[in-house]
Structure 1
């Protein structure tokens, strides 16, 4: 009887450790950024298409936040900025698909002549904290933009000019 009890206790401990590991990895922001690591070329292509679009629409040195793509839960569904061509819409659609429909917004702004492109995932925090994948030539500009937000964040550098931002 003691041996059987030890086996069941051992199995219960192993199951609890596995469950804890799954929970930790599920909410691990590094795991969220795997979408960028696995699809870097796609994110870069969206960045390039977006910069071309914004250059053609407005030549001012500074542009406030412009929503290139929005899925804010309305019955209308996915909405793109007027002028977003089929290639850009297709590439954003691919990111939506590989993110399992977690991409909520694609926002563009330009400050001091530098582009800031934000891919905003899981806006409602249904799967953990909201996270952003951001492109900008200047980490200082990224930090400045997020310091102006009314939320705490954690910044991780993903690649040259690319950042992961977890909103807490």
Structure 2
């Protein structure tokens, strides 16, 4: 075998091993959370404004699900009555960046801690439904999803932020 042939075979093997390593480590569920990683500031802004809004609306320790945004078409406005235009624009921008797969933004408070859920692809038109969730406690996120009749995969995204893929 000539030197040129051995070099060619060696380079081919290296490329095949690198490609195999990439395929093995590739997590397709992580790709959907790129929206959060690219626009985390916008998610943080919506979170901050939601917390201020909900604190001003209700002082109870536990609040059931409040839909801040609902893209189901059953109402004249997709936003909660108390959401100002600035916050509507921020949520609308997240919806646009997601290719309009943002279906709901829901807020609840359990044991005095806020739980904010951005629900994407509810109808599963583009794959599994997934949520981007803010909560200061991962155990509370796990508890909230364990109470629902679904299987899920939790992926930490940032401090207090989690990705939830519904199986």
- Does the TM-score normalized on the shorter chain lie above 0.5? yes
CA drift of 1:78 comes to: 5.3
Q: Does 1:87 pair with 2:86?
A: yes
Q: Does 1:46 pair with 2:46?
A: yes
* Residue matched to 1:134: 133
Residues 75 and 114 (structure 1 numbering): CA distance in 2 closer, same or farther, change over 3 Å? Answer: closer
After TM superposition, the runs of 4+ consecutive aligned structure 1 residues lying more than 2 A away are 74-78
TM-score normalised by L of structure 2:
0.82
Report the Cα distance in structure 1 between the residues aligned to 2:166 and 2:42, rounded to whole angstroms. 23
CA drift of 1:107 comes to: 0.2
TM-score normalised by L of structure 1:
0.82
Q: Does 1:123 pair with 2:122?
A: yes
Residues 78 and 132 (structure 1 numbering): CA distance in 2 closer, same or farther, change over 3 Å? Answer: farther
Deviations 1:32-68 (A, max 9, x none): 0000000000000000010111011101111011100
CA drift of 1:75 comes to: 6.4
Q: How many residues align?
A: 144
* Residue matched to 2:149: 150
SS in 2 for 1:79: coil
CA drift of 1:112 comes to: 0.9
CA contact (8 A) 1:96 1:103 kept: yes
Gaps of 5+ in 1: 1-20
Deviations 1:3-32 (A, max 9, x none): xxxxxxxxxxxxxxxxxx8xxx7x911000
Report the Cα distance in structure 2 between the residues aligned to 1:60 and 1:76, rounded to whole angstroms. 26
SS in 1 for 2:60: coil
* Residue matched to 1:31: 31
Report the Cα distance in structure 2 between the residues aligned to 1:124 and 1:92, rounded to whole angstroms. 19
Report the Cα distance in structure 1 between the residues aligned to 2:145 and 2:37, rounded to whole angstroms. 22
Aligned-CA RMSD value? 1.8
Q: Does 1:106 pair with 2:105?
A: yes
CA drift of 1:77 comes to: 6.7
Gaps of 5+ in 2: 1-22
CA drift of 1:80 comes to: 0.5
